[in-house]
Amino acid sequence: MTSHDAPGTALVTGASSGIGWEYATRLAGRGRSLVLVARRAERLEALARDLRADGVTGVETLVADLADPDDLARVAERVSGDDVDLLVNNAGINGYGPFAEADATLLDRVLRVNVVALTALTRAAVPGMLARGRGAVINVASLLAFAGDLPPDPLPRRAVYAGTKGYAVTLTRTLAAELAGTPVRLQVVCPGLTATEFHLGAGATPVSGERRTHDEGGMPPEDVVTASLAALETGEVVCVPGLTDPDAVSQLASAELEVRRGSGGRAAERYRRGAA
């Protein structure tokens, strides 16, 4: 059993459905205590009841809207506790829609949940993990982080959402390099379309009612979590659950290195020709 499988407390955001629900269930099965965070109290209590019925004793629920600064502060305080050695930043909202027509308040919420909360909770968790000599952070991003200029249809109109997930990828990779050689592991998991309720709303308000799955289908969340937890133990910083050839991630890093060669002291010749 590795240090990251050893029983400890995992705090999981967005635990009221989909991938977050599956992380909670799987980690409880590995003997972990849990802090479950989401906006929907009734969903959290339902999950807690199910886990307790299965004999899980250490289950705590924390109802919070991570777009709210006061709620975020409460969760940050909890994740900084001495017992938490795994943080799963799973909460996220999509705000899909044409950028010029999207509600500015909704886009602000997307940034607060997907970027500000993820950063704040990671910052709250990591110092204690370093001091205690154990810990891990899993950030749930999306393959849309790599969608770039691919046109919508069938992809969603996603400029802000994809940007936030690109941030999650870059933050995780960069922080993993910074913390290399320490006992704290970082991972960003980038699923494609997943069979959850994520596409049933844009995120301004929670999806109401019982848990369900959007019509688009996709990979089962169980497979996403299986891949993530396996990759955490093998040290894969970027986990793409459906990617058969992991060399694609290395090729991406090589391509980035080529782009960074543009940090020379003068503008490239093609630009200087145009300015003449």
Q: Which of 23, 161, 167, 271 is catalytic?
A: 161
How far apart, in whole angstroms, are the C-alpha atoms of residue 236 and residue 189? 9
3-state helix/strand/coil string of the chain? CCCCCCCCEEEEECCCCHHHHHHHHHHHHCCCEEEEEECCHHHHHHHHHHHHHCCCCCEEEEECCCCCHHHHHHHHHHHCCCCEEEEEECCCCCCCCCCCCCCHHHHHHHHHHHHHHHHHHHHHHHHHHHHHCCEEEEEECCHHHHCCCCCECCECCCHHHHHHHHHHHHHHHHHHHHCCCCCEEEEEECCCCECCCHHHCCCCCCCCCCCCCCCCCCECHHHHHHHHHHHHHHCCCEECCCCCCCHHHHHHHHHHHHHHCCCCCCCCHHHHHHHC
Catalytic residue status for 161: yes
Cis-peptide into 152, omega within 30 deg: no
- For residue 46, which phi and psi values (nearest 5 degrees)? -65, -45
Q: How far apart are CA 234 and CA 86, in angstroms?
A: 16
List the catalytic residues. Answer: 161
